[in-house]
Structure 1
Amino acid sequence: MPNNNSQEYENSTRKILNDDRIRPYLDLNRIEAEKCLFPGKKTGTGWEADAFGYDLDGGLVLIECKHYKKDRLNQNQVGGFAYTIQDVGAKRGIIVTTFGLQSGAIKVAKAENITLIRLDYNSTDKNFTVHLVNRAVIQITDQFNSISFSPGIARIKKYSQEELLKRIHEDSTRENPEIK
């Protein structure tokens, strides 16, 4: 069942980022599975993190999840998260979003050591597509929404896992006849 609300998206994100296939690319030892309130060192206010983890050296890493249907995060949103990281005293941050960042937000993220991860809008902890900096990780189970692209056109179809694997094999053998 696809994620249709932010809470489900956050819960799925925590599980996905803790997956042994994903976590090593983030240089994290572990990710805690609950939201947490961190005290601000300078402001004295409490800052909520959607998730958090610890890097390989034990440094705190805050994780922010944004489940938007169509909007990229802007620089003010990323700047606000950067301030949260600074005030809490975390080593760095990770933003998980469905649509990425606007150009100004990318500049802020790079300057403030914030990692961007795109997790598709309908991802669940069972079926997901994670886009890391130089890599994508896809997990499918019983049913997967196939996505195909042509210039200016996107088409989505539902296939059972068996049908999807059959189609992948057919495409592979058509393009590479030596594969049987």
Structure 2
Amino acid sequence: MPLTEALRDKIQGLITADSVVLFMKGTRFRPACGFSAGVVEVLDSLVPGWTSVDVLADAELREGIKEFSAWPTIPQLYVRGEFVGGADIVREMHASGELATLLGAVGVKPPQVQVSARAAGCSARSRRRRAPARPSACASARASSTTWRSRAASPATSRSSSRASRCCSIA
């Protein structure tokens, strides 16, 4: 279906109505797909006010927005009238901090990965038990690799798997 001039004007009007506009399946408060829900979560963490447009309510709009942006999937994010991207791009930009900068979110830092004390303790215990020749690898990682290779050759379980279960077992 070709993009009519009326539909193009409607989409342009929606995009310029707010500085942050998300064309999505469902609404901001009731996303209808996981990708849309993921972008909603990211936007809610960065900016208090933004507009969602439910493409499921209008089949012509759903197809038209794809042609308008030359992007085949929904959701689609627009910031200050410019197309940013879909769910994967938004997720990557959020992880790098680039989205917060684009949105002008003040005091927002990119997400940080934290290692639990239990996981950190696993590495410390592993290092104490083994020879100092391999200080960077966890014994369980080496054991898993060895176990997998030995199981591929024979169904017998190797001794290394018992070391791995002592080191990193999850209760």
TM range (shorter): under 0.3
TM-score when normalising by structure 1: 0.22
Question: Which of structures 1 and 2 has the bigger CA Rg?
Answer: 2
TM-score when normalising by structure 2: 0.22
